[in-house]
Structure 1
Amino acid sequence: MDGKRKRKLSVAIITFNEEKNIGDCIRSVLTFADEIIVLDSFSTDKTKEIATSFPSVRFYEAPFPGHVEQKNKAISYCNNDWILSLDADERANETLQKSILRFLEAEEIHCEGFKIARLTFHLGKWIRYSGWYPQRRYRLFRKESAGWVGENPHDFIELKTGSRGKVMKGDILHYSFTDFSHQINTINQFSSIVAYTRYAKGESFSLLKTILKPLGKFIEIYLFKFGFLDGIPGLWIALASSFSTFLKYAKLYELDKLKLERPSNVRKDYGKK
């Protein structure tokens, strides 16, 4: 690595059957990463083969206890003080790459974390409204000063009390869905995880919330977050978000009232350490 750098950086990525994404994700960080940690939950495709073809990658495997837990485990494998955490379907754009290189060369930083905007490509266009952009979250952080928290699968990085943060120029490019069917499949999967997690924490079914929450979500996304400015994709996103909200409560009904052990699309190893 360049001798002008004042600090080293690890990149942490979790994977499961990401053969279509992992190569591009890794290539987008090669200019600045001193090490790349890929933590996989026993993929059955070519994820391992592709990831390990890069010399800077250290590849690990572990059961999947949940998004928050798995991402924190990936962080624990990192050797460097500073970490960039990415999903396999994300890439660092050119502006972000340059910003990170400047950060690595800077004499002093005076913060423990950087928020980075995320720009998602969906339904043939970059989504710039609908609550999807800039959606700045901490992604680059000092290892001892932050960690993943939140309700699975809706996780986020939180700085420890007293830590200071800044905003970094550039975008994380997010290729979350190949098409609308992929989005619906993801909504089905993620709503099951949310319902399963909430029920485990003691939440019970509410008919009133099942009726009102989806309507409120549509109004929030399409009107208050300017989804209409994203055109037809914005309308689809608002409707899909409303449907996702309904599914969470419908599945909570199954768990609470019908005593379903778990939704059928929640992995058997989910929640195991």
Structure 2
Amino acid sequence: MATITVQILTFNEERHIERAIDSVQAFASQVIVIDSFSNDKTVELAKAKGAVVLQNKWKNNHAYQFNWGLKNAPVTGDWVMRLDADEYITKELAEEIKSNIDNLSEEISGIYMRRRIHFLGQWMKHGATYPMWVLRLWRNGHGQCENRWMDEHIVLNTGKSARFNHDFIDDNLNDLTWWTNKHNHYATREAADLLNHKYHFMKADTRDEDDKEQAMVKRWLKENIYSKLPLFVRPFFYFLYRYVIRLGFMDGWRGLQWNFLQGLWYRFLVDAKIFEAEAKIKSAANQHEAAKLLVMEDWGLNPPEESEE
């Protein structure tokens, strides 16, 4: 069987790391954890499960940290998988990987898989959330993570992609306070991405513009249609689309919470941050430079390409 290295990014993930590592044991020849100097038991637990652990200071975004791991960790696998610490592979997907990885043609360099999101313990089956196809497994040296503040994906440098039919699960076990705090930080980075789409103060890293898979299509819609709709109006349209048209209400009370918080509150917060930023940017003589300085100085986000060592 072809060897597979699984790489996981961590910071204070003691609730999740054992579950994530256990879920890949059936097919992974190596697990590498890139830790951002956790102050809980994450490193200890990962090492006890046999993972190779490297530590690197966090800089701006997941993409930089993940690509740092690809460059600096002792990756031995023929294939590499990205797995977030709060995700895990289902037994069905693990078996599919084991059974099919050696049967792929040489032209196949990447594998798309279905992500299933759980929110506060419940699977979100509706509301345009499932299935979400994302590339998570690729031949070593044939792919890397786009260097963006948000909405970063693994993209292929060479070769074609295929799909596996089973799911991996995104199931964070932290509480709602943790979730809202995290999304407040995400909203800042999302706002920075959208401001950059308007003012072009840094080069957007989109490595595979011809990729028609679902995650890339969703980004295209966000940048070319959603971003052109009026601030504060578009979050309500998006919520109605997810909750009514795409049947998010069928997921019950958890579905209401998920679609309201992630589809409306979060998007409204992004718009509020953009509105606040635009008040400063529009009064500047050089709006391009003003947008860049606001993102870097007020929000503390250096352009991702400048994070490289």
TM-score by length of 2: 0.75
CA contact (8 A) 2:127 2:242 kept: yes
Matched with 1:224 is: 245
- Spell out the pairing of 1:4-43 with structure 2 (5 A cutoff): 5=1, 7-43=2-38
Deviation at 1:37, TM superposition (A): 1.1
Alpha-carbon separation, structure 2, partners of 1:115 and 1:22: 23
Aligned residue type for 2:274: L
2 CA distance for matches of 1:233 and 1:167? 29
Given the alignment of the two structures, is residue 96 of structure 1 paired with residue 93 of structure 2, yes or no? yes
Return the alpha-carbon distance in structure 2 between the equivalents of residues 14 and 267 of structure 1. 20
**Is the CA contact 1:129–1:226 (under 8 Å) kept in the aligned structure 2?**
yes
Amino acid at match of 1:230: D
Please state how far the C-alpha of 1:16 moved relative to its aligned partner. 0.9
Query: How far did residue 12 of structure 1 move?
Result: 0.8
Question: For the Cα contact (< 8 Å) 2:184–2:266, is it kept in 1?
Answer: yes
Corresponding position of 2:56: 62
Q: Which has the higher helix share?
A: 2
Distance 1:124 1:11, change over 3 A: closer
Partner of 1:181: 177
Residue 270 of structure 2 corresponds to residue 248 of structure 1: yes
Deviation per residue, 1:156-185 (Å, 9 max, x gap): 222236x22111132111113534333322
Task: Give the whole-Å Cα distance in 2 for the aligned partners of 1:181 and 1:125.
Answer: 17
2:167 to 168, 171, 177: 171
**Structure 1, residues 116-157: CA drift from partner, whole Å, max 9, x if none?**
111122234211112221101111111332222274232222
1:228-263 CA distance string (max 9 Å, x none): 221222222221121111111212233443558334
One-letter amino acid of the counterpart of residue 246, structure 1: F
1:87, 1:262 → 2: CA distance? 29
The structure with more strand, counted as a fraction of residues: 1
Q: Give the alignment of 1:1-273 within 5 angstroms.
A: 5=1, 7-55=2-50, 57-65=51-59, 66-76=61-71, 77=73, 78-106=75-103, 108=105, 110-149=107-146, 151-160=148-157, 163-176=159-172, 178-199=174-195, 203=199, 209-240=230-261, 241-257=263-279, 261-263=297-299, 272-273=307-308
Q: Which amino acid aligns with 1:115?
A: Y
**Distance (whole Å) between structure 2 residues aligned to residue 129 and residue 150 of structure 1:** 30
Which residue type is aligned with residue 262 of structure 1? D
CA gap of 1:105–1:164, structure 2 versus 1, over 3 A, is closer
Cα root mean square deviation, aligned: 2.8
8 Å Cα contact 1:68/1:150 also seen in 2: yes
Residue 138 of structure 1: SS of its match in structure 2?
strand
Where does structure 1 differ by over 6 angstroms across 4 or more consecutive aligned residues? none
Mapped partners of 1:71, 1:199: distance in 2: 24
* Counterparts of 2:155 and 2:228, CA distance in 1: 33
Distance 2:118 2:104 in 1: 35
Contact 1:209 1:249 in 2 (8 A): no
| More displaced stretch, 86-95 vs 235-244 | 235-244
Runs of 5+ in structure 2 lacking a partner? Answer: 201-226, 281-293
Kept in 1: contact 2:64–2:307 (CA 8 A) = no
In structure 2, relative to structure 1, the CA distance for the partners of 1:229 and 1:203 (3 Å cut) is: farther
